[in-house]
Amino acid sequence: MNLILFDAGETGRPLPRSDPRALHILAVLRRREGDSFDAGLVDGPRGKGVLVAVRADGLQIAFTWGDEPPPLDPVALVVGMPRPQTARKILQEAAALGVAVLHFVGTEKGEPGYARSTLWRTDEWKRHIRAGAEQAFSTRIPQVTHGHSLAEAIDFLAGFSSRVALDNYEAPALLSQADLAPPVALAIGPERGWSAAERDLLRCRGFTLAHLGPRVLRSETACVAAVSIVRGRLGLA
């Protein structure tokens, strides 16, 4: 963790010794009473935490807050529901890159069982999205939805003027050549790609098809590469 995030309601009470953040402060950062570490309030300011006392019931921490970080980038990512281990990577990397919104959607060629994994049935996914923000030294947490259809997710994208869907089969040009203006919606299909009906839906809803070149990439690699290209095209890199 480059930055340890706290919810506003946590800062006035001890941090339990069993909390992973407490273990990180003591065992990884090796902080002792009187030492400080980088801290942040979720969707709020960054600052410093000072380890006041280490007690049986938890760590007593005093906080001082500074400026709030900039908002997340005007980029939404629509992802065909991948296998859980891939989704974990995408959650962390997208949050680290500053994506504002992630929609994980069901698709015709996707595996329905992926949406029923413990990643989505519990709050595990929240841990991965926060880990990505902490890695990037940011307090900003992307909005995440899951379990919707592709059509439903597109309905959430009102106001996104640029819409691009990655496709290995029918895309006429590279993503790096796309004409983009913020905010940008970027759709990436499941491991087996989009169906013909989904391509028609995407085109009908204002998406242009683009590709990343001749190499076939893993979903998590394609997400990182595509978001990085979009950020560069928008002058955000």
DSSP strand pairing (73-80 vs 162-166): unpaired
Last residue of a domain, one of 21, 39, 65: 65
d(CA 146, CA 100): 15
d(CA 148, CA 150): 7
CATH number of the domain residue 86 falls in: 3.40.1280.10
In this structure, are 112 and 21 located in the same domain?
no
Domain count, the chain: 2
Flag whether pLDDT at 72 surpasses 80: yes
In this structure, are 164 and 59 located in the same domain?
no
d(CA 190, CA 188): 7
Q: Which range marks the domain in which residue 180 is found? A: 73-233
This prediction's pTM: 0.94
The predicted structure's pLDDT at residue 161: 87
In this structure, are 37 and 147 located in the same domain?
no
In this structure, are 18 and 80 located in the same domain?
no
Flag whether pLDDT at 61 surpasses 70: yes
pLDDT tens by residue, 154-204: 999 999 989 999 999 999 999 999 999 999 999 999 989 999 999 999 999
- pLDDT confidence of 51, banded at 50, 70, 90? very high
In this structure, are 126 and 59 located in the same domain?
no
CATH number of the domain residue 57 falls in: 2.40.240.20
pLDDT tens by residue, 121-137: 999 999 999 999 999 99
In this structure, are 47 and 149 located in the same domain?
no
In this structure, are 60 and 80 located in the same domain?
no
